[in-house]
Amino acid sequence: MIEIIVDQNLEKAMRVLKRKLIREGLFKELKSRRFYEKPSERQKRKDKESAKKRRKELERQKRFGSY
């Protein structure tokens, strides 16, 4: 459940809501569900995403590990 408090500024509340939905991956999931994805393609995509996540984590550790 996502809760947004509106304080007289609807545009700002909409931006906050959109940012929260993006962080939770809702838009990415909706985009992926538009078309059928074969199981082999799904596995390739997940492998690619996990490799990207590992590379990103290693870079983060290299950059901030010395502090």
pLDDT value at residue 5: 82
Q: What band does 65 get if pLDDT is binned at 50, 70 and 90?
A: confident
Q: What band does 66 get if pLDDT is binned at 50, 70 and 90?
A: low
> Does residue 67 have a pLDDT over 80?
no
Alpha-carbon gap, residue 20 to 2, rounded angstroms:
8
Alpha-carbon gap, residue 42 to 47, rounded angstroms:
9
What pLDDT, in 10s, does the model give residues 33-58?
A: 999 999 999 999 999 999 999 999 99
CB 21 within 8 A of CB 2: yes
